[in-house]
Amino acid sequence: MSLGINTLDSMISGRSVYRRDYRKRDGRDLFLYGYAPHELPALAEDDFEVAKGGELRWHPLRGEWNVYAAHRQNRTFKPSAAEDPLAPSKPGGAPTEIPFTDFELAVFENKFTSLHAQAPSEAANPLFERARAAGRCDVIVYGPEGTGNLHSIGQAQRRLLVAAWIDRYQALYTAGHKFVFPFENRGDEVGVTLHHPHGQIYAFPFVPRVQQDAAKAFAGGYDLEKALTQIGPDYGIADTGSVMAFCPPFARFPYEVWLAPKIRRPGPWAFNEDEMDGFAHLIGDMTRRYDEFFGRETAYMLSLHAAPLGEEGTFHFTAQFYPLLRGPGRVKYLASVEQSTGAFTVDVMPESAAKILRAL
């Protein structure tokens, strides 16, 4: 069911950005973003009963909530190209998640969601504290093609992706979610089960511990804006004038890279036009540098760290790449020390990683 076409506030190089709102047959939202209004007719859809999320359980020794969602064991696992659920649907073919013959960029509610607005209330348990896994999990599909990456899709498509991220940030924070977290998992070593270029967005009913700690650091006076002026030639990789890519001196992963606006911004929704262009360019540029250096499709985790709800006054946005390789042909395994203590053993000095990546 189509719910209408909206023109977003975003303008990209003078071009309007449109969003079509569509309600899938199973009740999930589908948003289609593009430089032209999406008006194609919908094709047939599958019947599917969507699980309403899992539950939250409190870890008393780590002081954090974790999400339990047993139904995710049955999620789609490495389908063939012919069975790609993120591809456009074909007339007479098997339905996909996007029931249209074409689209530019799509966002839809995850079929195998961990968090859901209608998550059930859990009965009290004397052994542990539990809570509703309220929230939302979206999938964001970068384009209709089944292959590609953040570099190969091109700057115009990356700018459209940034516009979609901003639109979802604004909608999900307005809805009252405590922390909104766009991310991308790439490569078999990270556990990716769908290779169509895509990412995800989690909207949490709480602020995870990592982001709580970051918010406290910024509120306590850590000045990333000042630090960026002191990065100098040792840690910087690329600089668009308004956004910088660099290896943080305190990186935990070999070849870890952060992107940050030079002026403190709480999130991409506060970017000016130059910052949007620079950020979009650098997420593609870093993907290119990684693949060139490692000589293959680099397995990485990319996460966008924007201000949790209410922390906009001091938080400084970063996008963080964590490669799962420590050198060409060598996987970085997170083994006993890292998993058990949180203290990472880093095999490559950040200044050496920056020098290598900068030279590409």
Which residues are marked as active site?
198
Smallest CA-to-CA distance from 244 within 223, 230, 227, 259 is with 259
The span from the CA of 91 to the CA of 94, in Å, is 8
CB count in 10 Å sphere of residue 291? 17
Cβ–Cβ contacts within 10 Å for residue 65, how many? 19
Phi/psi for 150 (5° steps) reads: -65, -20
> 213: exposed, middle or buried (C-beta count within 10 Å: 0-12, 13-18, 19+)?
exposed
Q: What angle do CA 282, 287, 293 make, to 5 degrees?
A: 120
Close Cβ partners of 193 (under 8 Å, ≥ 6 residues apart): 75, 76, 77, 78
Task: Name the CA dihedral angle for 278, 253, 291, 238, rounded to a multiple of 10 degrees.
Answer: 30
Q: Could you tell me the CA-to-CA distances from 307 to 160, 224, 258, 318, 326 in Å, in that order?
A: 22, 14, 16, 10, 30
DSSP for 113-179, please give it. -S--TTPPPPPPBTTB-EEE--SEEEEEE--S-SS--TTTT-HHHHHHHHHHHHHHHHHHHHTT-SE
Contact 97, 28 (CB under 8 A): no
In this structure, the strands spanning 318-323 and 300-305 are antiparallel
Residue 73, classified by CB atoms within 10 Å of its CB into exposed (0-12), middle (13-18) or buried (19+), is exposed
Structure tokens at 166: 């901003």
- The single residue listed with the structure tokens 């053993």 is 345
